[in-house]
Each structure stands twice: as structure tokens, then as C-alpha cells.
Amino acid sequence: MAKASRRRPLTLDDLKVKEKVENNVLISQVHAENKTLKGLPEDVIDSYQMASLYGNRIFDSSKWLLKSLPDGMPKPCRLLDVGCLKPSYTKIKWIQPTYIDLHPKHPSVRKADLLEYNDEAGFDVVCLALVLNFAGCYKARFQMLRKARFLLKEGGYLFVVLPRACMMNSRFMTVDYFEKLLQYVGFTGYVKSHLSNKLFFCLVKKTNLECSGTCPEQPNLVINGGNNFKIKP
């Protein structure tokens, strides 16, 4: 008589682990090959967006930003949320949000490219939450930082969220280098920063100097399995 199978039934935790692994593999493949999303099929773009959003489902980045902004912010506070898949600030009465994305998935999100977007009034906050990692070209990522600064009012704040792997498992990126790069672009050092199991968060403030001093030297680390994510002029 054949023995009964002792295979453990698939649990919800197992499914979560499987989803997490698949998301990480997809993100790593895109960055390892340094591809640009503009050249990928729509279904791959959708999958990548969902994979990058996985960590944000676990920890809502908008909550971190709202807790991290200093007292005395303008009211209404004009906020530009770039790469928005689902509006997060609509119910916050003192926030006046504008949502844009290259491939909108929600009726409240405008179809727009950050690098081509303009607003004469300027914003108090620009959010690049899981956005820089969407651009396959390192120069485009740098230009996105510069454009975000251009769209900010004097003393405005830039909020950046990146997958942890982009900061901690790249041959060309460290937390320290990213801070120096932001300072070179024309921001302060980190006003606040946080590194979770899945994501890196930081908040910086616009300064009066743009691309001042010398551009920091990009690291070139030897990391087993490291990806190619980088940002430089």
C-alpha cells in the first residue's frame, strides 16, 4: 500500500514568499540588464510596476512622508506625485495633490512624462516614490532629480523611495553616495531617511545652489550578485 503524501499544504505565508521572490527576480532582471521601460512591452511594464509596488503595499510610503514633513508646511501644500499608480493624498485636506504617470492606471492620474512636465506655480513637495528605478538609463535618473528640483518652490522638499536592492545590492550605489549626489544636484543632505527590509526612503530640501561643487565619485563595488543600478550625470 502506497504511503500517504506528507507534503505540507500550501499556506498564505507560502504564497506571500513566492510572490516576494518572483517580484525580486523581476526587478533584479530589469536592473541587471539596465533596460528602459519605454522599450518594454505593456504587459512587462505592468508586471514591473506591480512588482515595484509590492513593498509599498507592506509599508505605505505616503504615511512615512506625512510624518516626516516638518511643521509649518504651506496650506494648501502643493504636492506632485510622480509615477502614481493609486492616489494616496486625496483625503488629506491640507494637501493639494497632482498625480502623473507614464502609464496611468487610475482616472485621477494624468498621463505625463516628468522630464517634459511643467508647472509655473511650482510645488512644495515632489514625490519620486519607486520612480527612479523605472528609468533604465542612469543619465535619465539624474535628469529626473534635476527636473524634480526645477519643479520645486524655494525651500521645497523632495521625497524619494527606492527598492532596498537598488541601494544595498548595487555595484554603483550606496546610501552615502546617493546623499552626496543629491547635494550636488542642489538639495540638502538627508533631512530624514529610513531603510526598511524592502525599501529605502529619504527626504531632502531644495537649496539655492544647483550642481554645485564637484560631482561625487561613483562607487564601483565588488558584490556577489550585485545589480547594475546607478545614477550619475
Residue 231 belongs to some domain of the structure: no
Range of the domain at 131: 15-205
pLDDT band at 29 (very low <50, low <70, confident <90, very high): low
Residue with cell 494648501: 76
Average pLDDT over the chain, rounded to an integer: 82
pLDDT for 44 equals 55
What SS3 state is found at 187? strand
**Least confident range of 26-35, 58-67, 79-88, 115-124:** 26-35
In 66-165, at which residue ranges do the beta strands (DSSP E only) sit? 77-82, 95-101, 110-111, 123-129, 152-163
Residue 147 belongs to some domain of the structure: yes
Residue 10 belongs to some domain of the structure: no
Residue 224 belongs to some domain of the structure: no
Residue 229 belongs to some domain of the structure: no
pLDDT band at 136 (very low <50, low <70, confident <90, very high): confident
pLDDT for 84 equals 87
What SS3 state is found at 60? coil
Count: domains in the chain: 1
Residue 220 belongs to some domain of the structure: no
- pLDDT(25) > 90: no
Average pLDDT over residues 177-200: 95
pLDDT for 53 equals 53
Residue 149 belongs to some domain of the structure: yes
72: domain CATH number? 3.40.50.150
Helices (H), 171-225: 175-185
